[in-house]
Amino acid sequence: MINLEPPKKFATLVHQARQSATEFFRPNSRKYDHAEHSYPVELDMLASVLDGLNSAGGEGGGASGIRRSDNTKQEGTRNGGNLSTVLGTIELCWGDVGLLLALPRQGLGNAAIASVADEEQAERFAGKWAAMAITEPDCGSDSAAIRTTAVEDGDEYVLNGTKIFVTSGERADAVVVWATLDPAQGRAAIKSFVVEKGTPGFTLVRLEHKLGIRASDTAEFHLENVRVPKENLLGSPEINTERGFAGVMQTFDNTRPLVAAMAVGVAKAALEETRELLAEAGVEVDYDRPAGKQSAAAATFLQLESDYEAAYLLTLQAAWMADNSKPNSLQASMAKAKAGRAGTDITLRCVELAGTFGYSENSLLEKWARDAKILDIFEGTQQIQQLVVARRLLGKSSKELR
């Protein structure tokens, strides 16, 4: 049975993540919000610390992801790498979500590799910083509509297409590119390929100027006759129409709880800041009285806290299920949907509760409100998550429920 209290064995990790957020992320948060596209050199030391923890067998504390195969041989309940990574991500995003996304070797592409790579690939790509390229100019939330192609040619695949909104695309060592082996086969033909930087034909087109997460670069790439070795295809090269999109969806099952954790971390930061501001203004939040019998500000704050708790618990549940080899596609989408929406709502309402102070750069509240929005969009928008949840609950296929 799942116990939604943080395991005691992760107390040190959570403390270290909070300390890193306090000493590295918060002091540099505003600096790199203003200096968009500048590399946060302060992160190099922290990235080395995380690498040391991982090489020493420590549980993950960043966004690198955990191999599902690590959890297959076990007895009883396990609190493992997925749960520890989620807990660490929450604390680091309490510091700054953009800087977390800018951490070397902690990219969403690393989580994709962890999800579906075989043992040889996992070893070969170990230590590389991997971004993930899904979105295209004519393909946003519907990943099955991908038009980037991968054509087999001898011992290689030849990739052609355009990818946009690639988080950490410029700085990463490699990019996990989603492409179709056969557009006529639909979802089943979508595969992911590790394309290493410097590969001929793989061109950085531009960097985006963004609303939030400005510490993290967001790139557009063009692929023209990019040749990738066959062994860089993640997972099976077979097109299995019966299994459909399942192989690719396993990546989302691993990354969506991580994005949910990012949203939970930002929301946690906003609530803590707002609680202090309300106390300074003489607004008492009484947990022993009904919300309707308290001030409007206190009642609003209690509502926001309840949304936070729901998002937090759903996120822990999705990660715990992954650790215990339980199918978690439904729970991963529920966590992402709830946390993405809650993160946006909570940060914006906290700006309102703080008044003019929340709207100015005197605090980080306005920045957190900007940063939170992307967490409701990438890795599948709010609408897509609700659609996935509805299909799972109603037992409908993608053709039956669109």
Q: The tokens of 316 are what?
A: 């822990």
SS3 307: helix
- DSSP secondary structure letter of residue 139: B
Exposure letters 358-376 (e unless 16+ CB within 10 A, then b): beeeebbbbbbbbbbbbbb
Q: CA–CA separation, 95 vs 26, rounded Å?
A: 5
Residue with tokens 């991982």: 54
DSSP 112-148: HHHHH--HHHHHHTTT--EEEE--BTTBSS-GGG---
Under a CB-based contact definition with an 8 Å cutoff, are residues 83 and 10 in contact? yes
Q: Which strand (E) or helix (H) includes residue 107?
A: none
SS3 3: coil
Q: CA–CA separation, 275 vs 353, rounded Å?
A: 10
Q: The tokens of 305 are what?
A: 């806290």
**Annotated catalytic sites, by residue?**
379
